[in-house]
């Protein structure tokens, strides 16, 4: 069965959304190579450029919150720490890529997605389920990949967009694409700022503002031989105010500021040698820098530099079979005043990986494997097996099993007096079962069941019974069972998207539910196009959650409703309006922190 995902049709960058079935959406994250979404047997969600334009998120968390399998924990407004949970596991157990380059902090163990500029995103791919057999460490829950904007119009263009909103929120961006048949260049700059609001409910009355300034450059040139030279550079820097930081005497202050700089550079060559053989080599570097200011005085600085070299090739064995294999080299280095006393400041990882895909009418399969050799913890092997069987003309059954692991962070291993250099990687195994049903080109339904077992989870624990000294240790084991239901319907110019999730994330020792995981969540979105006007309304339900391991403190469930509108005055001029938290719902996402009340944002864009 050919799975057809309902999506917005490819249109001019500033035109209103036109809804249509799109059977050939290309994704790359699930298999590390281009593949039609209709041919993938891996649960994958694509948030397209058109969807981002219509829903108008102001953060990556807002862009992801309507996606199946994703839950968001907010610690305030824009720029504040946002924790993502994918299939019940947090950001330390998921991999985040930007244009194929891994990003994040090696000391914290996750990427600060709250600082990535949404204005520069072309699309987001979310792969649900273990992917260490292709990507290595930290892909237990899945992989989130951000694809930045590239030149996609035939002619040269430039787009300027400006907007204002509640709490003196301001946004300004300028992007453009230039080139000819052989060369393409893209450039984008953006600035986002807001006065914010007081994010800590028990603190003094102060506004916790945010500033983000970003740059994105990409280039690609194709030679007559078919060889493609490509490169890119991204940078985001700014600061956000927050509350409850620690002073040197360990007392708390609400005069806190976080300074951040994230930048990445990549350069590569790719070639399709013939119809069967293709290869790519890429070198990249990503830097993650953070520093706190407490009452105007700068504290320690933490910098992660990640260098990677990737070489992969693919060979079409036959019309039904594809073989992909490659080598990954990664080196993490931490620096800055905050890591002066760390026992180790560098580690490298070498890996070999391979994927075999086979597909014929009514049957498809994928087998992947990877061997990682890490300087800190030795060799680790993972695998993944997937099978798709067409039961009926409109119904497909999918089966999968995969192993994965998460590497301990530099803080876990080497933090002065508290780190534990004897930590082992966390390990997991995931079994999955799915059904994909498509009775017509305008209706698509899926059901996915999965069970993930994670062992040797790193958690703080006393070094011995009764000891007052605590360190990170491999002491926790968790079991996560889940059911995901998703549906998409297209009726004329009306599109409806919905998802439901039931989750049972348990600590195996106590049987208690893991903190801040809602066992029930759902989302619904209805979009309607009326000539030049497109309207959308979204609702997201988050069930009750526990804030403590003993499951004695529970936060209430809540539903948030958002509204958006887009009107094309002409093909060049487009106006937009979004209202987040339309009903002005008072709710708590994280205990002790305020959440944003109703907020409006209006913008206008013009294409030259």
Give the pLDDT of residue 19: 33
Spatial contact of 446 and 499, defined as CB atoms under 8 Å apart: no
- For residues 34, 35, 36 and 41, what is the CA-based torsion angle, rounded to 10 degrees? -150
How far is CA 23 from each of CA 119, 358, 494, rounded to the nearest angstrom? 26, 20, 18
With a cut of 50, say whether residue 6 has pLDDT above it.
no
Give the pLDDT of residue 66: 87
Closest CA to 336 of 107, 115, 527, 526: 107
Collapsing DSSP states into helix, strand and coil, what is residue 422? coil
Spatial contact of 55 and 567, defined as CB atoms under 8 Å apart: no
Report the Cα–Cα distance between both ends of the chain, in Å, rounded. 43
Give the pLDDT of residue 523: 96
Give the pLDDT of residue 153: 60
pLDDT confidence band for 152 (50 / 70 / 90): low
pLDDT confidence band for 63 (50 / 70 / 90): very high
pLDDT confidence band for 8 (50 / 70 / 90): very low
Give the pLDDT of residue 154: 66
Which of 202-215 are b and which e, b meaning 16 or more Cβ less than 10 Å from the residue's Cβ?
A: ebeebebbbbbebb
Cα–Cα distance measured from residue 312 to residue 126, given in angstroms and rounded to the nearest whole number: 22
- For residues 268, 25, 322 and 96, what is the CA-based torsion angle, rounded to 10 degrees? 50
pTM score, whole prediction? 0.93
Spatial contact of 104 and 330, defined as CB atoms under 8 Å apart: no
Pairing of strands 277-294, 297-316: antiparallel
Per cent of the chain over pLDDT 70 is 95
Neighbours of 534 (CB within 10 A): 26
Residue 129 Rama label (left phi>0; alpha psi -120 to 50; beta):
left
Give the pLDDT of residue 252: 84
Q: What average pLDDT does this structure show over 272-288?
A: 93
Collapsing DSSP states into helix, strand and coil, what is residue 61? helix
Neighbours of 483 (CB within 10 A): 14
pLDDT in tens, 172-195: 999 999 988 899 999 999 999 999
Q: Return the ∠ at Cα 353 (arms to 351 and 357), rounded to 5°.
A: 170
Q: What average pLDDT does this structure show over 572-587?
A: 96
Spatial contact of 410 and 398, defined as CB atoms under 8 Å apart: no
Residue linked to tokens 């073989």: 323
pLDDT in tens, 425-470: 999 999 999 999 989 888 999 999 999 999 999 998 888 787 788 8
What length does the chain have? 608
How far is CA 140 from each of CA 78, 127, 343, 389, rounded to the nearest angstrom? 28, 11, 27, 25
Give the pLDDT of residue 246: 82
Computed over every residue of the chain, the mean pLDDT equals: 91
Give the pLDDT of residue 36: 82
Residue linked to tokens 């720029």: 79
Pairing of strands 94-98, 142-148: parallel
Closest CA to 49 of 169, 137, 177: 177
pLDDT confidence band for 273 (50 / 70 / 90): confident
With a cut of 90, say whether residue 355 has pLDDT above it.
yes
Closest CA to 312 of 275, 277, 358, 265: 277
Spatial contact of 487 and 466, defined as CB atoms under 8 Å apart: no
Give the pLDDT of residue 244: 83
pLDDT in tens, 228-260: 999 999 999 999 998 888 887 778 888 889 999
pLDDT in tens, 302-316: 999 999 999 999 999
Spatial contact of 138 and 94, defined as CB atoms under 8 Å apart: yes
Alpha helices in 112-255 (DSSP H): 132-135
DSSP assignment of 275-308: SSEEEEEEEEEEEEEEEEEETTEEEEEEEEEEEE
Neighbours of 106 (CB within 10 A): 22
pLDDT confidence band for 20 (50 / 70 / 90): very low
Spatial contact of 200 and 592, defined as CB atoms under 8 Å apart: yes
Most distant CA pair in the chain, distance: 71
How far is CA 211 from each of CA 78, 164, 204, rounded to the nearest angstrom? 9, 14, 21
Q: Name the least confident of 5-9, 338-342, 355-359.
A: 5-9
Domains and CATH numbers, the chain: 5-607 (2.40.170.20)
Pairing of strands 363-374, 378-392: antiparallel
pLDDT confidence band for 5 (50 / 70 / 90): very low
Give the pLDDT of residue 23: 44
How far is CA 294 from each of CA 107, 140, 259, 462, rounded to the nearest angstrom? 20, 36, 11, 30
């Amino acid at each position: 069965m050919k799975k057809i995902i309902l999506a917005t049709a490819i249109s001019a960058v500033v035109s209103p959304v036109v809804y249509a079935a799109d059977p050939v959406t290309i994704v790359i994250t699930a298999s590390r190579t281009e593949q039609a979404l209709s041919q993938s047997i891996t649960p994958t969600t694509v948030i397209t450029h058109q969807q981002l334009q219509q829903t108008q998120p102001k953060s990556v968390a807002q862009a992801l919150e309507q996606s199946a399998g994703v839950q968001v924990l907010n610690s305030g407004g824009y720029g504040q720490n946002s924790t993502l949970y994918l299939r019940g596991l947090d950001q330390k157990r998921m991999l985040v890529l930007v244009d194929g380059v891994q990003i994040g902090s090696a000391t914290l163990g996750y990427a600060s997605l709250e600082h990535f500029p949404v204005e520069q995103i072309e699309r987001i791919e979310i792969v649900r389920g273990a992917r260490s057999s292709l990507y290595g460490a930290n892909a237990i829950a899945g992989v989130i990949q951000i694809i930045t904007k590239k030149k996609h119009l035939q002619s040269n263009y430039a787009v300027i967009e400006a907007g204002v909103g509640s709490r003196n929120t301001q946004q300004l961006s300028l992007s453009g694409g230039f080139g000819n048949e052989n060369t393409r260049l893209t450039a984008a700059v953006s600035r986002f700022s807001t006065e914010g609001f007081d994010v800590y409910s028990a603190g003094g009355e102060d506004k916790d503002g945010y500033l983000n300034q970003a740059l994105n450059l990409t280039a690609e040139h194709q030679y007559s031989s078919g060889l493609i030279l490509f490169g890119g550079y991204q940078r985001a820097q700014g600061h956000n105010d927050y509350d409850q930081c620690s002073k040197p005497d360990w007392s708390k202050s609400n005069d806190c500021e976080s300074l951040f700089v994230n930048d990445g550079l990549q350069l590569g060559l790719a070639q399709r040698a013939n119809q069967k053989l293709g290869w790519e080599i890429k070198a990249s570097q990503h830097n993650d820098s953070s520093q706190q200011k407490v009452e105007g005085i700068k504290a320690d600085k933490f910098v992660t530099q990640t260098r990677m070299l990737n070489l992969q090739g693919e060979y079409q064995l036959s019309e039904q079979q594809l073989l992909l294999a490659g080598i990954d080299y990664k080196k993490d280095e931490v620096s800055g005043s905050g890591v002066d006393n760390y026992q180790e400041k560098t580690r490298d990882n070498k890996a070999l990986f391979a994927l075999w895909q086979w597909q014929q009418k009514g049957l498809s399969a994928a087998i992947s494997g990877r061997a990682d050799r890490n300087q800190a913890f030795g060799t680790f092997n993972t695998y993944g097996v997937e099978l798709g069987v067409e039961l009926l003309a409109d119904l497909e059954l999918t089966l999968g099993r995969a192993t994965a692991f998460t590497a301990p962070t530099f803080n876990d291993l080497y933090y002065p007096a508290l780190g534990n250099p004897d930590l082992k990687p966390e390990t997991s195994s995931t079994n999955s079962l799915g059904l994909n049903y498509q009775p017509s080109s305008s209706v698509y339904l899926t059901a996915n069941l999965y069970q993930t077992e994670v062992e040797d989870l790193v958690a703080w624990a006393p070094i011995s019974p009764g000891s007052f000294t605590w360190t990170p240790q491999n002491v926790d084991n968790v079991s996560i069972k889940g059911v995901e239901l998703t549906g998409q319907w297209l009726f004329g110019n009306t599109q409806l998207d919905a998802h439901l999730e039931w989750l049972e994330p348990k600590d195996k020792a106590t049987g208690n539910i893991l903190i801040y995981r809602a066992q029930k969540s759902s989302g619904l979105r209805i979009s309607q196009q009326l000539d030049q006007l497109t309207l959308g309304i979204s609702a997201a339900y988050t069930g009750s959650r526990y804030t403590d391991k003993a499951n004695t403190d529970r936060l209430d469930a809540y539903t948030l409703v958002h509204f958006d509108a887009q009107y094309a005055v002409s093909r060049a001029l487009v106006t937009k309006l979004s209202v987040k938290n339309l009903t002005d719902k008072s709710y708590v996402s994280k205990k002790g922190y305020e959440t944003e009340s109703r907020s409006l944002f209006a913008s206008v864009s013009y294409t030259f």
